[in-house]
Amino acid sequence: MAALGGANSCLDTDPGRAAAYETALMDLFATCVHGAAHAFALASAESIAPGDLAPFAVGISAVLSEMIPRWAERLRTGRFPGGRSTVASAAATLTRLVQAASAHGLDTGALAAAKRTADRAVAAGHGRDGLARLVAATAATAGVPAPPSRG
């Protein structure tokens, strides 16, 4: 595994556990790749050169890297303070993003899905909560229980 640049981790004695991790992590990767592709397409539609956008996109990816462990802690404790950003502000931003992408003829499916999730959370009274609250709103669409609080 080291030759491939990866790490060897024992996740559980259940062999299906590794597949579950892989599925969740590939979901994260696929949606991030789609987000990057969509952002570059939207930037191009706004006459922004890829090289001009790239340093700012790297900055956003750093925010995501910082956000992931914080979300894990929020999900573990069940507390979702909205000090940095709120579900309501995300819903408003998503409205603007859907409009901008649509105006350029770009596919808005992923953004519209994210907006529906944020809107559901706001309607449920969680507009002032932090963005980690969106995990429960996402899971609820399929009747999936709240994430387990392990480690």
CATH of domain 14-140: 1.10.1040.10
Mean pLDDT (the chain) is 91
**Res 86: pLDDT:** 98
Domain ranges, ordered by start, for the chain: 14-140
86 phi and psi angles, rounded to 5 deg: -115, 160
CB atoms within 10 A of CB 123: 11
Tokens 């789609």 locate to 34
pLDDT at 28 over 70: yes
Q: Model's pTM, two decimal places?
A: 0.84
86 strand-pairing partners: 130
Give 70-98 pLDDT, tens digit per residue: 999 999 999 999 988 999 999 999 999 99
Q: Could you give the maximum distance between any two Cα atoms of the chain, in Å?
A: 52
